[in-house]
Structure 1
Amino acid sequence: MTDDLLLRPGGPADAPAVLRLLDDATAWLVSQGRTGQWGTEPASADPRRIAQADAWTKGGGLWLAQLGERPVGALVVGSATDYVPPATEPELYVNLLVTDRAYAGHGIGGRLLAHAADLARERRLDLLRVDCYAGGDGALVRWYERQGFTRTEQFSVQRPGREPWPGQVLARRLG
């Protein structure tokens, strides 16, 4: 299936597609009892997440994976977020990776991460980093490890009125 996958740069008109992918992923996580990662409410109903998606679509780092006309994955690359420990060398940072759960197991996430690695190499960067939810059973961390990433720093994001969000930074050397 990934042979039919088209990767294209995204732009402001793609905000609804990004929010749909986030909403669908959140609904799937909720159905699996995994509410710690993104909560229970759709991104499209959260003003903070809507603003974040809008910024991603205007920031120049959005890439969409499409099957035909349907976006089935989104990747955002750029600078690391302020809540993770800074890198000690130049890097490309994966700010978002989300795929359509209807196509789970088809390698879309891996293909998007391979594209991120290609973008880093084009920029002559040897380090690709990402952070992810480290709570629950750790399945997401293990998925990134299967994609060639290695665990580095752990961190925690404090959230008013809620439990802290446990995170894991992972790195992949590209040299």
Structure 2
Amino acid sequence: MDDLLLRPGGPADVPAVLRLLDDATAWLVARGHTGQWGSEPASTDPRRIAQADGWGSGGGLWLAQVDERPVGALVVGTANDYVPPATEPELYVNLLVTDRAYAGSGIGGRLLAHAADLARQCGVTLLRVDCYAGDDGALVRWYERQGFTPTDRFTLDRPGHPPWPGQLLTRHP
């Protein structure tokens, strides 16, 4: 996409991030896939709202936009506490979400390439991400196509929800 612009995000972009999450959740639900993000909109979940607020003020939010409309979000920073610690300096992808109306246009790949650029700029040699590993494993395969290698599998126990199967992946930028 030649008209795709990547820009740093901030607190004012939290509603756009929540919209992207809501739209992606609705898309998953319509396909019968509620294991990744559940079935309720992120914008109505106090935990997800607080998480998005943290991303907006944390300094690691980047937005992809077309004609002023956010069509993707990337958050980079430190690893989630439920994954094994890195054995070398790293940059961690905490969120990657894209507008399903632009599916197949390479927005996710562009955002991950930007994350790799940021890692190199920080002088780190490792980019890691974790993702949902349930259902048919399509998300893990998508990250593999983006140059990531699966490492550790894990399961998160979530009170009141089914266990969440996850996959940690790495890439050297």
Q: How high is the TM-score relative to the length of structure 1?
A: 0.98
SS of residue in 1 equivalent to 2:2: helix
Deviation at 1:34, TM superposition (A): 0.7
Q: 4+ runs of 1 displaced by more than 2 Å?
A: none
Deviation at 1:109, TM superposition (A): 0.2
Q: Distance in 1 between matches of 2:142 and 2:31?
A: 17
In the TM superposition, what whole-angstrom CA distance separates every residue of 1:27-67 from its partner, at most 9, and x where no partner exists?
00000111000000000000000000000000000000000
Long gaps (5+) in structure 1: none
The number of equivalent residue pairs is: 173
Q: Distance in 2 between matches of 1:151 and 1:173?
A: 12
Which residue of structure 2 lines up, in the alignment, with residue 27 of structure 1?
26
Which residue of structure 2 lines up, in the alignment, with residue 11 of structure 1?
10
Deviation at 1:173, TM superposition (A): 1.2
Which residue of structure 1 lines up, in the alignment, with residue 67 of structure 2?
68
Q: Give, as a single letter, the amino acid of the residue that structure 2 aligns with 1:114.
A: A
2:113 matches 1:114: yes
Which residue of structure 2 lines up, in the alignment, with residue 78 of structure 1?
77
Which residue of structure 2 lines up, in the alignment, with residue 56 of structure 1?
55
SS of residue in 2 equivalent to 1:35: coil
Q: Give, as a single letter, the amino acid of the residue that structure 1 aligns with 2:58.
A: G
Deviation at 1:3, TM superposition (A): 1.2
SS of residue in 1 equivalent to 2:47: helix
Which residue of structure 2 lines up, in the alignment, with residue 129 of structure 1?
128
Which residue of structure 1 lines up, in the alignment, with residue 104 of structure 2?
105
Which residue of structure 2 lines up, in the alignment, with residue 146 of structure 1?
145
Deviation at 1:16, TM superposition (A): 0.2
SS of residue in 2 equivalent to 1:151: strand
Which residue of structure 2 lines up, in the alignment, with residue 169 of structure 1?
168
Deviation at 1:161, TM superposition (A): 2.5
Q: How high is the TM-score relative to the length of structure 2?
A: 0.99
